[in-house]
Structure 1
């Protein structure tokens, strides 16, 4: 329902006030900091040529140093070796005149860790896709399986707390795959019950083992196990602080209604950061806060202003995608708690569902992936202003929450398959998140500068990880000595094309995509056998 300009919203917030807050967020979207080139031994002066690869005469933008000028970029091995006003010579040259040359996009929240999903994201400018919110377990098995198959883009994962919890509560050993997790939604003990003292010790031990194997922190998918104890979450935060790694939390409640609201869940996260000193990363603040965005964003900003180690990510859609069996969609009041008008806000393969159909799926196929519209930013100015509070969050990252590709029959699409099958289905965020930011927020609405948007998609995600994973100091930057993960695109034509009905329509406008110095997309065409992706992994 549309609201008048002065109609109260969520405790007195008006649409005018919401839009003013979004505008204020835009003005401070990137917080200036000193370049890592100052005192960082991996970033240095130009090396002499010739070079393995040269990207010629593009508009080079580095969000950290503020460079925005026409340059040649020379690459040796997997690193940027030179950035020059003068022409450079190389064994291979990629033309970039009239194009933007930028750091490759880093996705902190990519559930699609399969090979076809990686290719889809490459066409959206992503050069590093990490599974951090949910995570995986065992960690070594995940890295071994992925390395054996190879990837065009970089990959990595956090340690999955939910996997450890399922193993202890249901007596089933995880195998390091997403399919194992999907199958667990036919059971509810792990979602709704407290852990005994012995179970909790074992859960923590399993998570710690994953950290010792190089996991990128702790994935805390609390929204899928809201019945876990508060002491359990506290133990996880203590563990993260002890190892100096972030937690990546999908907060335990997705609700605009108190009690058990998202606001309450954010308070829990903030309190744990204050008490333990842990770095708490908030996953998809847009879908967690929904229409209570103003209050939730205000809370998180206050925590940061007081020096707490809290970071934020969001994606540019007003619809979530997850498993129909998730606890957040159960109970007679689930639509009221989400703040939506009825069960038709939930879709399966682009078709609205009735409550009877939802009930049936929860009984017979709880692992079915559905889409749920919590805001309508394309139809409502108020909803757009709410989503802006998340996307324009100062210093916040863009992260897709890309879901795996499934057939309409629900089978996971994996292996060396390209193009995607005709019936391939996922949320359009799996295909077009980064192009949507560039096309809508930069080119059309002009609420982000190009450099600000690139910072949110490359530099800020790298900063979330770089303290615990020094490897990330070389990512998210277009500077000499940085890893040669680079996107070359036309800012006038870059476009997301995926829709909720046709989610597999690839983004367009990317001329070249380079990962670790190797082109994987050249002249907008996929290099089929390119597998230069490397693991992002903590050194232990």
Structure 2
């Protein structure tokens, strides 16, 4: 027997026969939502050889049949901004429906070494990275070679030259050469973590935009300033990014506009709208929290007026379950500047602050990305270490920002179900299709992701819209989301019956074609 297919009015292949060859997996009777075609209806979805093979109103046969009655069947969520890149990080992401997690803002170097290392980890979801400009800067100012580890970045936090000094000609050439080599090795663009090295020169950032345009890739920028006070304000930093995109023609992506804009989000979003209306090639992301995670020694927390610029004191900083005192802040900045802390820049309990956060999350041009941080723990000497083990559940003593476990579930709980400020289809668009479209012009793999259509990759999440919720808190982030029934990655189960599938590794590298 064979499947007889036709194209519906929505442009979706549907089976017209009540019988079909057995597929690997069939998702039965779920509310299927595809944000690209507008499909939102009860359908059956078949998966064969890692791809979606049929979407039908009629029964389909499968070796494995999953009853999705009462559940939403959606494209898997794509996280463009995930710093946690070990197996535990990916497992926690899978538990909230993420099927692809990419390290684009900070990036890494060398790219080839990083992909080789990831391939050895047997990861449950798809992975990829950009070429990290800060890695190139650290290596250049230290006169060393970059290492594709978070420790390489953290250990450099006690040094200020790579953060604050303008590179001379020789240094500039080496920084660009290291980044370009990353592109030649298949990087997904250029990560420009400028908030951590705000002393770079205008020419250096412009050269990065030119390089991105030359290779036809995007830059992903944490803009250099985070301040509500001029000069050197968030508004000024966004104008710098937009002008570089306009002049060079490069696609330039704005990372977490909520945390870099803080209370000035209305002005910065208006600037983004005007740039987009002029046809300037920029994209933008946000996450649904009023707190960021960063290193305590970050350059933005230095200078005599940083408290006024950031509207913050030590009370806005949280380490583990506790807020910091001024004495603790001074001690960590002097002696342990690479320590990751949580910085509360908006108070979601205040209606006026929540409205500012909502403005960034619900804007039609804003996609959702988590900025997920590493799971960490205190060693016997009281030093913070990155957790890279494979225990599941994660050990009780690890901690992170709650967005590492709950970003996408929080959108579906708070923004869709509880407050109704986003429709289900719009939320799914922001978490699947929009991230795929951000990359697909220069990463061909992404043209098959973020969609629930015949022929697309079988990266799929099935969740209960009545129960899906984030449980991670600032006091205890080590709590997986609930309400996820099934997560399928490239046709294989990452989550089944609400439980993580251990021992399977269906994640694949997302990588541009390596230059020969």
Fold agreement, TM-score > 0.5: yes
Summarize deviations over 1:50-89 as a string: whole Å, max 9, x none: 2111111111000111101111111011100000111110
The aligned counterpart of 1:350 is 321
C-alpha distance in structure 2 between counterparts of 1:174 and 1:407, whole Å: 25
Q: Structure 2 residue aligned with 1:372, among 343, 347, 354? A: 343
Q: Post-superposition shift, 1:396? A: 1.4
C-alpha distance in structure 2 between counterparts of 1:445 and 1:49, whole Å: 43
- 1:387 aligned onto 2:357: yes
C-alpha distance in structure 2 between counterparts of 1:45 and 1:512, whole Å: 22
The aligned counterpart of 1:137 is 109
C-alpha distance in structure 1 between counterparts of 2:505 and 2:145, whole Å: 30
C-alpha distance in structure 1 between counterparts of 2:303 and 2:167, whole Å: 23
The aligned counterpart of 2:445 is 471
Tell me if structure 2 keeps the 8 A contact 1:44–1:481.
no
Tell me if structure 2 keeps the 8 A contact 1:291–1:339.
no
C-alpha distance in structure 2 between counterparts of 1:211 and 1:441, whole Å: 37
Tell me if structure 2 keeps the 8 A contact 1:349–1:408.
no
Point out where structure 1 has 5 or more consecutive residues left out of the alignment. 1-34
Instruction: Give the 4+ runs in structure 1 shifted more than 4 A.
Output: 43-48
- 1:510 aligned onto 2:481: no
The aligned counterpart of 2:3 is none
The DSSP-based 3-state class of the residue aligned with 2:376 is coil
C-alpha distance in structure 1 between counterparts of 2:387 and 2:300, whole Å: 26
Tell me if structure 1 keeps the 8 A contact 2:417–2:465.
yes
RMSD of equivalent CA atoms: 1.4
The DSSP-based 3-state class of the residue aligned with 1:54 is strand
- 1:218 aligned onto 2:190: yes
Tell me if structure 1 keeps the 8 A contact 2:189–2:212.
yes
C-alpha distance in structure 1 between counterparts of 2:15 and 2:225, whole Å: 50
The aligned counterpart of 2:416 is 442
How many residues matched? 499
The aligned counterpart of 2:395 is 421
Q: Post-superposition shift, 1:95? A: 1.4
The aligned counterpart of 1:102 is 74
Tell me if structure 1 keeps the 8 A contact 2:259–2:291.
yes
The DSSP-based 3-state class of the residue aligned with 1:60 is strand
Summarize deviations over 1:314-338 as a string: whole Å, max 9, x none: 0000001010111011123222111
The aligned counterpart of 1:362 is 333
The aligned counterpart of 2:215 is 243
Q: Post-superposition shift, 1:419? A: 1.6
Tell me if structure 1 keeps the 8 A contact 2:228–2:310.
yes
- 1:455 aligned onto 2:429: yes
The DSSP-based 3-state class of the residue aligned with 1:149 is coil
Distance 1:135 1:44, change over 3 A: farther
Summarize deviations over 1:164-219 as a string: whole Å, max 9, x none: 01111112322211121111112111001010101101111111110000000000
Summarize deviations over 1:388-413 as a string: whole Å, max 9, x none: 11101213110000000001341111
Q: Post-superposition shift, 1:44? A: 6.4
Q: Post-superposition shift, 1:45? A: 6.8
Q: Post-superposition shift, 1:415? A: 3.0
The aligned counterpart of 1:30 is none
In terms of mean alpha carbon deviation, does 529-538 or 176-185 score higher?
Answer: 176-185
TM-score of the superposed pair, with normalisation by structure 1: 0.91
Point out where structure 2 has 5 or more consecutive residues left out of the alignment. 1-7
C-alpha distance in structure 1 between counterparts of 2:15 and 2:241, whole Å: 44
Q: Post-superposition shift, 1:495? A: 0.3
The DSSP-based 3-state class of the residue aligned with 1:407 is strand
C-alpha distance in structure 2 between counterparts of 1:408 and 1:450, whole Å: 39
Q: How does 1:244-283 map to 2 (within 5 A)?
A: 244-283=216-255
Tell me if structure 2 keeps the 8 A contact 1:46–1:81.
no
The aligned counterpart of 2:268 is 296
The DSSP-based 3-state class of the residue aligned with 2:363 is coil
The aligned counterpart of 1:401 is 371
Distance 1:106 1:217, change over 3 A: same
C-alpha distance in structure 1 between counterparts of 2:434 and 2:159, whole Å: 37
C-alpha distance in structure 2 between counterparts of 1:240 and 1:393, whole Å: 26
Q: Post-superposition shift, 1:350? A: 2.2
Distance 1:501 1:86, change over 3 A: same
Tell me if structure 1 keeps the 8 A contact 2:13–2:54.
no
Tell me if structure 2 keeps the 8 A contact 1:103–1:458.
yes
C-alpha distance in structure 2 between counterparts of 1:524 and 1:411, whole Å: 30
Q: Post-superposition shift, 1:49? A: 2.6
